[in-house]
Amino acid sequence: LWKLMETYEPNDPESIQKSFARHLEYSLACTRFNFTMQDAYRAAGLVLRDRLLESLNDTNAYYRKMDVKRGYYLSAEYLIGRHMQNAIANLDLEQPFKEAFHALGMQLEDLFHEEVDPALGNGGLGRLAACFLDSMATLSLPCWGYGIRYSYGMFKQDIQNGRQVEMPDFWIGDGCPFEIPRPDITYPVRLYGEVQEGLNAQGEWCLNWVGGDIVQAMAYDNPIPGFDTYNTNNLRLWRACPTKEFDLDQYSAANFTDAVEARRKAEDLSAVLYPNDASYEGRELRLRQQYFFVSASLQDLLREFIKRPNYKWSELPEKVAVQMNDTHPTIAVAEFMRLLVDVMHVPWDEAWELTTKCLNYTNHTVMPEALEKWPVEMMTRMLPRHVQIIGELNLRWINGLVAKYGDGPIIAALSIFEEGDVKKIRMGNLAIMGSNKVNGVAALHTEIIKKETFPDFYKYCCDTGAPDKIVNMTNGVTPRRWVHCANPALSAIFTKYLGSHEWLTDMTKLKGMLKFKEDPKLHAEWMEMKKTAKKKLAGFLKETLDLEIDQDALIDIQIKRIHEYKRQFMNCLYVIHRYQQLKKMSPAEREKVQKRVVLIGGKAASAYVNAKLIIKLINNVGKVINNDPDTGKLLKLAFVPNYRVSAAEVLIPASDISEHISTAGTEASGTSNMKFVMNGGLIVGTMDGANIEIREECGEDTMFIFGCLEHEVAGIAAKAKEGHYPIDSRLQAVFQAIRNGEFSKGEPEAHAEFCSLVDKLCNTHGAGTWDGDRYLVVHDFPSFVDAQAKVDATYADKAKWCKLSIQAASSMAKFSTDRTISEYADVIWGVKPAPRPMEM
Ligand code: 26Q
């Protein structure tokens, strides 16, 4: 068969063209003479898929041959974004593809635009998982991702009359050429049923989980090519399918409609992503999704382990490391135990040792409302055996704790079970107990985990001589997608000045740019690069919003999920203030003010009332400001609809400043802050999340910092509750305009809603039930205004701005996910690079 394989030069334009023509005709049933751009995209996708598959298979064979330790990333979300451009770049096919399609009269860029943007994630956590996959492959690490192949990803956001309307995102509509369905790789997953005592095949007493429903998890593989390596890793996503035997039963009972109904019910499991990113909703379907993908993934990775000749269970921690992305896959702790004890017959104590050596947990959120707690009643119905296992684990754990500390409050705090009217299982506690390492995602966040989120666990770790169980792994982003692909002009500058593209796999090389930071030639090229990006942005805004922007204006962007803690509201209040200042000026004075375009984009969870109101307010304020002839040329505010990865790729390179303005101590890390700075944008930000570390790396002068510090928050909030909370006069004027209905003319409903937002900020009473300015907008507003004034003043000096921009972008090595993932591999996983040789 080897000899029969079509041989081609993967890097030669002519073979790309031949393969393209073949796919057009034989895979897509088009003709060479009659096809659309969508067909062309699809055929080009299949050309790449051939090459990806070959590399994926060879890489996997190599990992098997070398019997390497593997890492498995378990995540309910992957915000991968479009594949094509990234795959071409990572497979080093940019030149030949360009040539091949140019000769056929097509622009690659136009093909890229045909691809739907897969959005199998909410925001930061899902995008981080996607950047991690890129770095794992690029570092030649034998690591796979596991997740869910949702039929419907993150909803599409429509703006109607200024309000968010959610539309379904059926991304698989016409099929995705980059995924490989594997009907041969399926695992059964049981839900509900009961536990019976019985005898196993060896005649020993055991517990059997029987009955209930069984769904099949079917694998869909998504090859992840590394950059500058021959390795291609895999993102394996599970789709829920009905069980065949189950159907047959129904057919033999001649009950056709029940069989179809059961089929539909099974498919529900992987139907839709929950569009919630900060507060957890205890939906039964969500727990089912979590168990479904965890069980399939652990079955798959254990099967890989036992395929090895003469395997011994004691070797498992030398061959397997699992990372749980937040608490979403935490049922893995109990499922790992169940598979080892009930299915593989490993003794309990040994199974627990293996579990706690293999699993690790990353926490991504400080918000207490985001910590998952599932009702015991629900979990007992759905996963009766797991609740038994968790009960047994807890019993042993609590006995040990009582022996150590006696019966005090620390026992209740460390228990997996939360007592109360509704007894609950705390997934965070289960995750920490079952893990070898626990990590936060930025230095400040890791400190908060130790001191506030899980203080009793940290005390326990310290008391047992294991303070290093909790470690910091500062987030990052991949420079391949976020610099090289999103901003080719910048990538070309770096490569030209540094003499090679090595910086793309070793960002410390960018330090070499610093000696040019005052070079007028570089300044000219740098400003040209920004101009190119702004032009592209202008085209995008014209197309999506019919908005014209002045390309000399300062571009100010805030794009992220809409949440009160991220304070898009404060940004909007500032824009109103700026508008009021302009209105007060004479035309001559106005001429001297820096022109600004403020863009805000992001999705609100569909049930999050205040977040949706903030979107409406931004839209209404934009309408007034943009249409005011006094100010329209000097200040624009637009809400960018349907923010997603592909929109970020256009927005981020064009920014002069971006807003990362969460209340100190609320944003675990943030990752778009890193993308903006890598693209030469400067940050207006608070001392929160990774902003602090970015400032450390790039220098204080590159950032416009404002607002209270994390350790001051509690004191300020306490004062606010008592009513000692003065409101700045400029902010009062803004509130007055909103209350006067300046932004809700002819919309009484919106007027009442906007007033409710303002009232909330002004509510200083009702200690205990305080529902006022929880995120200290009023407190931080004056220093926010000052920071913005400093932005304008600095921007006025073009050479200075350019120097700061170069300095910041060239100091971002720490925030490449290559650095982050190397640390995970070293400190947490013990996984080593295994670069595949070209010839195998
Ligand atoms: C949980 C249960 C039920 C339904 C939904 C959820 C759920 C889903 C997604 C809870 C949270 C999330 C997402 C959290 C998230 O994106 N956190 C962000 O993670 C980034 C990567 O570490 C950080 O940079 C951000 O600061 C953090 O907000």
Instruction: For 441-463, give the secondary structure using H, E and C.
Output: CCHHHHHHHHHHHCHHHHHHHHH
CATH code of the domain covering residue 793: 3.40.50.2000
254 within some domain: yes
CA of 128 from ligand 1 middle (Å) equals 10
342-375: pLDDT as tens digits: 999 999 999 999 999 999 999 999 887 888 999 9
451 within some domain: yes
CA of 752 from ligand 1 middle (Å) equals 31
Which residues form the domain of 320?
67-82+117-474+824-829
Clarify whether residues 156 and 185 are in a common domain: yes
Kindly name the residue from 364, 616, 636, 721 that is annotated as catalytic.
364
547 within some domain: no
Instruction: Determine phi and psi for 190, rounding to 5 degrees.
Output: -95, 145
Ligand 1 mutation target, pool 326, 373, 438, most atoms within 8 A of CB = 326
840 within some domain: no
Q: What is the pLDDT of residue 835?
A: 98
Percent of the chain residues topping a pLDDT of 90 = 88
Q: Does residue 248 have a pLDDT over 90?
A: no
Q: Determine if ligand 1 sits within 6 Å of the CB of residue 688.
A: no
Q: Determine if ligand 1 sits within 6 Å of the CB of residue 282.
A: no
Q: What is the pLDDT of residue 262?
A: 76
CA of 365 from ligand 1 middle (Å) equals 6
Clarify whether residues 728 and 680 are in a common domain: yes
Q: What is the pLDDT of residue 767?
A: 45
717 within some domain: yes
Clarify whether residues 636 and 767 are in a common domain: yes
What is the mean predicted confidence (pLDDT) over 309-334?
98
Q: Determine if ligand 1 sits within 6 Å of the CB of residue 286.
A: yes
Q: What is the pLDDT of residue 11?
A: 82
Q: Does residue 769 have a pLDDT over 70?
A: no
Clarify whether residues 54 and 109 are in a common domain: yes
Percent of the chain residues topping a pLDDT of 70 = 97
A 10 A CB-CB count for 65 gives 11
What is the mean predicted confidence (pLDDT) over 174-182?
95
What is the mean predicted confidence (pLDDT) over 116-143?
97
pLDDT band at 4 (very low <50, low <70, confident <90, very high): low
Residue nearest to atom 13 of ligand 1 (CA): 277
Residue nearest to atom 24 of ligand 1 (CA): 670
Q: What's the token pair of residue 50?
A: 């051939």
DSSP letter, residue 120: B
Instruction: Determine phi and psi for 202, rounding to 5 degrees.
Output: -85, 0
Q: Determine if ligand 1 sits within 6 Å of the CB of residue 272.
A: no
Kindly name the residue from 42, 239, 523, 675 that is annotated as catalytic.
675
Q: What's the token pair of residue 79?
A: 């915000």
Task: Report pTM.
Answer: 0.97
Residue nearest to atom 4 of ligand 1 (CA): 280
591-623: pLDDT as tens digits: 999 999 999 999 999 999 999 999 999 999 999
Residue 511 annotated as catalytic? no
Q: Determine if ligand 1 sits within 6 Å of the CB of residue 123.
A: yes
Angle at 410 between CA 408 and CA 414, to 5 degrees: 135
Residue nearest to atom 21 of ligand 1 (CA): 125
CA of 125 from ligand 1 middle (Å) equals 5
Q: Determine if ligand 1 sits within 6 Å of the CB of residue 121.
A: no
Clarify whether residues 743 and 766 are in a common domain: yes
**ipTM confidence score:** 0.99
Nearest CA to 810 among 704, 680, 687? 680
Angle at 775 between CA 626 and CA 740, to 5 degrees: 40
Clarify whether residues 343 and 432 are in a common domain: yes
252-261: pLDDT as tens digits: 556 777 777 7
Clarify whether residues 106 and 131 are in a common domain: no
Nearest CA to 834 among 257, 18, 137? 137
Residue nearest to atom 11 of ligand 1 (CA): 277
Residue nearest to atom 9 of ligand 1 (CA): 277
Q: Does residue 462 have a pLDDT over 70?
A: yes
Nearest CA to 129 among 82, 77, 56? 77
- Lowest-confidence range among 471-480, 562-571, 717-726? 717-726
CA of 364 from ligand 1 middle (Å) equals 6
Nearest CA to 274 among 424, 76, 562? 76
Q: Determine if ligand 1 sits within 6 Å of the CB of residue 220.
A: no
pLDDT band at 700 (very low <50, low <70, confident <90, very high): very high
Residue 561 annotated as catalytic? yes
479-536: pLDDT as tens digits: 999 999 999 999 999 999 999 999 999 999 999 999 999 999 999 999 999 999 999 9
- Lowest-confidence range among 157-166, 244-253, 581-590? 244-253
Q: Report which ligand 1 atom has the smallest distance to the Cα of 689.
A: 26
> How many structural domains comprise the chain?
3
730 within some domain: yes
Residue 671 annotated as catalytic? yes
Residue nearest to atom 10 of ligand 1 (CA): 277
pLDDT band at 225 (very low <50, low <70, confident <90, very high): very high
Kindly name the residue from 138, 362, 505, 671 that is annotated as catalytic.
671
- Share the mean pLDDT of the chain: 95
Clarify whether residues 336 and 396 are in a common domain: yes
Q: What is the pLDDT of residue 663?
A: 98
Q: Does residue 3 have a pLDDT over 80?
A: no
* CA–CA dist 515, 500 (Å, integer): 16
Q: Does residue 246 have a pLDDT over 60?
A: no
Judge contact between 459 and 405, C-beta under 8 A: no
Residue 566 annotated as catalytic? yes
CA of 123 from ligand 1 middle (Å) equals 7
Residue 364 annotated as catalytic? yes
Clarify whether residues 58 and 131 are in a common domain: no
* CA–CA dist 721, 769 (Å, integer): 10
Kindly name the residue from 560, 578, 751, 803 that is annotated as catalytic.
560
541 within some domain: no
CA of 797 from ligand 1 middle (Å) equals 39
Clarify whether residues 33 and 76 are in a common domain: no
Q: What is the pLDDT of residue 277?
A: 86
Q: Determine if ligand 1 sits within 6 Å of the CB of residue 598.
A: no
Clarify whether residues 27 and 167 are in a common domain: no
Clarify whether residues 302 and 216 are in a common domain: yes
528 within some domain: no
Q: What is the pLDDT of residue 690?
A: 98
Q: What is the pLDDT of residue 255?
A: 73
CA of 124 from ligand 1 middle (Å) equals 6
- Lowest-confidence range among 261-265, 464-468, 746-750? 261-265
What is the mean predicted confidence (pLDDT) over 89-110?
96
* CA–CA dist 704, 587 (Å, integer): 29
Q: Does residue 247 have a pLDDT over 60?
A: no
Angle at 564 between CA 561 and CA 569, to 5 degrees: 95
pLDDT higher for 497 or 200? Answer: 497
Q: Determine if ligand 1 sits within 6 Å of the CB of residue 667.
A: yes
Residue 560 annotated as catalytic? yes
